[in-house]
Copies of this chain bind each other. A is one copy, B any other.
Amino acid sequence: MGKRVRQFGGKRVLLHYGGGSVVKSGLLDRVKKSLTEENITYVELGGVVPNPRSGLVYEGIHLYREEIFNFVLAVGGGSVIDSAKAIAAGALYDGDFWDFYSGDAELTEALPVGTILTIPAAGSEGSLNSVITHEDGMLKRGAGGECLRPKFSILNPKLVFTLPAYQSACGAVDIMAHVLERYFTNTKNVGVTDHLCEAVLLTIKEEIPKVLANANDYDAQANIMWAGMVAHNNICGVGREQDWATHDLEHELSALYDVAHGAGLAVMFPAWMRYNVDHDVNRFANLAVRVWGCKMNENDPKTTAMEGIDCFVKFLSSIGMPVTFSELGAKKDDIPKLVKKLGVTSHKSIGSFVKLYAKEAEEIYRLAL
């Protein structure tokens, strides 16, 4: 692993991680040993939390000013990687790193980032994106740029054997959601990427039950880890408009209630689907047939489309995911607040497949109750 860091020019590394699990498992010690063997020095910054916060990013950037490192190594899941990317970008920027997340500055330069993945979910190990929650107002926002794509990522299925079942399931939903955000497109005749999307969805559908039955199933974990990478490195999204409204809807949930991103997506995606099914019934019906094994009703494809959504919900429940606001611990009374924080109005929308304004966003939250 140290060899990889050296290959990409790393001489002094920021070792970035979350809580105790990478320490307890001995992984962090192994990483340090490997760096030392390559004569690579390091500074450490642990403490990343799920839905990673701006505070630690500022701390990392401050550390850079004092300690000067030239590589950021993330050891953890998507939150750690996203935080590492934010530090990598902010280190080389004179202004406030949040400018990249608020849309006030374009991201063109960052320190090189490498990752050792311990949670298959976010796909940040192969993507050019990062999502951070600003503690001032608990705003959850994303930034992206090719410079943020990790130089290498180590995906070792043995590192995820110890993940709790709930976290594995949340990760699986996140992976599916990354594909679905790309699947629901208005771009016509994109069969090759449609089928690639379906391939990833089928993989998760088939493999996650094996992981929940036996977390030490190396092959199932490997399939899921790789699916997570493919789901978000954009091979499934080439040449097609993408939606991403459901991620926006969910970000407000996880920012407000600090719930797992995957759990929030399990609640919001079926609601989004039910609200938008009429926009392109055939696309929903194809998904039902190709992924959920429904039989196409040629006379009434909408029944097939709705059956597919029902199958999805049943699947989500079967892997232990919440599918309603109440199961998630979210509150009906907070819906106006969620809509407001989302920033949509009567003339400002999210999403591409269907543009969602304040009214639509509110109705989708209500469908998720």
Contact = CB atoms under 8 A, between A and B. Distances in A.
A239 B226 contact: yes
Nearest to A233: B235
A169 interface: no
Contacts of A299: none
Contacts of A203: 191-192, 195
B235 A207 contact: no
A49 to B, nearest CB: 30
B189 A195 contact: no
Interface of A is mostly: helix
Interface in A174-200: 188-193, 195-196, 198-200
A281 interface: no
Interface stretch (A68-76, A216-224, A249-257, A271-279): A216-224
Contacts of A235: 230, 235
Contacts of A23: none
A199 B179 CA distance: 14
Given A198-B199, A199-B198, A199-B199, A192 B238 contact: no
A206 interface: yes
Among A191, A202, A219, A227, the most chain B Cβ lie within 10 Å of the Cβ of: A191
Given A191-B206, A196-B196, A238 B226 contact: yes
A186 B150 CA distance: 31
A173 to B, nearest CB: 17
Given A222-B239, A226-B239, A195 B188 contact: no
A360 to B, nearest CB: 30
B192 A199 contact: yes
Nearest to A219: B189
Contact of A192 (B191, B223, B239): B223
Nearest to A220: B189
Nearest to A207: B191
A192 B200 contact: yes
A238 B222 CA distance: 11
Nearest to A193: B226
Given A192-B227, A226-B239, 16 more contacts: A188-B219, A189-B222, A190-B223, A191-B203, A191-B207, A192-B200, A192-B203, A192-B223, A192-B230, A195-B199, A195-B200, A195-B202, A196-B199, A196-B200, A222-B239, A235-B235
The 10 closest A-B pairs by CB, nearest first: A195-B199, A189-B219, A199-B199, A192-B203, A192-B223, A196-B199, A192-B227, A191-B223, A195-B202, A192-B226
13 contacts: A189-B219, A189-B220, A189-B223, A190-B223, A191-B206, A192-B199, A192-B200, A192-B226, A192-B227, A196-B230, A198-B199, A226-B238, A226-B239
